[in-house]
Structure 1
């Protein structure tokens, strides 16, 4: 009998394709359960924190991720393969072995002081979630926001966690200068599905409450209804769009699921565990989006998808935008307020 570990997304530590030797165990093995039941934090001290965004999927010039790995446990997460570069598995390790970039605020300040740097919006997250559960204790994201406020630098936040409301004091000050937007990822308003899709994120109701709180505080809000997985949450598009519009979201975005590299075996195992009766149907419909493959690395193709199911999804979102967001829009953030000498001036006192 399998013993499901609460809050776990991946079913196993799949093989890291960079490793020569193969060693795998299911999270349901007796001698493995205790080892993965708790999150382990490893402090790291990188040389840089800001990354140039080369992915056209993201509308930002730069991103920064205070954590590598993510406790939220979403089986479909496109960031899972990045854990392999650190010598870990894209499976259980991605969720339970978190690398914390403890010097991130100092690195951001150093970046802002670069000679000739001109401000462009930096996205907090983009790879892994900046407000995953460990942030409650470590407060690295809060430190990064403090640096952005000090230097008056625009920042965009993407998260699945209502913990973002903890930092309303900083966010409201940034918003007063048009320096911040907050995007919440809400792929479904079906709470039972949410528990399985993203086991350690905030509940649907908590996310919607956070969205309303942030919006009422005067902070521009955006919702990612993503990823759309045909056969799972594709039927939730319109009710989700209506719910987030009612809570004050200014706009929304969406993506089609794609299972690139080692995301594929993690997601297939997850489907087999939670939706065995729908497994073949869901996988076949995902493949129909990408020319018969479960993944797609061509940016233009993976965003648009192909076939009848992709067309239905795109048309449904067009209806949602027309019906619930017709008169709403997001304004670009201010870049002209940035002052790269701010920290130097303050250090004189």
Structure 2
């Protein structure tokens, strides 16, 4: 399963009215259709014919509508893996700031306001706890610092203390080099309605020193696809951001960001795996969206398209490939935030028919389908479409 982080194919009906024109793929394409021959042949052309050059079709294809609130990487991956999302609380720092401060003080930290009268907290003079500004409001809280001032493990400990205090989707620990607390103050963004945080792309965190840890809200991992596969004796490999946001005890994890490394690792594990599941997250699409860099986004898509044949060529008769996403991140939106969009569903295998699967009501349908194809117990949510792609091929 290849997850193109932040790759949307058109706004959902329930998106905010001001975002009804969001369409990551179409806006990356700009004035002319993109030459993405591999993705097009798997069905991407059918999802946006004006955005991608046509190729002979060999994959089942459709769209997935997110059930999770907003547009979020962690919740998107939980949904893809078949996890129910009922435990998430939607909170801003102004709602939980006192609770977070008390938890940090109890853990031995010195805590003060970053700016008087605002909700952001300064911890030990170096780390800032604030509303995440890159996803929908109330989903995530960030813990941001310069690795010139604190090492990443110590910064992560602050993140763990915040995680224990709140039930938002994610607490995201972010560190890099080349800035200080004064620079963080200079990159404060107020979105209104209480959402105040740090513009991390503008701060310059996404450089060669960038480190991140996604501390997600606990879900019953034993009822999600990866654990179902592991319990049935299969190997589970989590690559890229999936190593952070997908839970599975005993899984092989490789935290990678460069797209070529993520795809290369997927090929390497596919060559040696007898039975199991590989989940590979391509994060650089999402980073390009946050940076509002259409050209970078396009170059990452081209890199993915060029790398996929190495995976496809190694698929045996009982192997299959799914390509999807967790949310949208339109690099022309004028905002660094994720966009609430449908995501693509591309499925390929020797026994699959190139059928149109339409628009499905949950990302969880992917996890349910993979479980049925692997012959393992179904995850707690999602409707399998395995029979639609298999029966049509006979």
The two structures share one fold, judged by TM-score above 0.5: no
TM-score normalised per structure 1: 0.29
TM-score normalised per structure 2: 0.27
Q: Which has the higher contact order (CA 8 A, sep 6+)?
A: 2
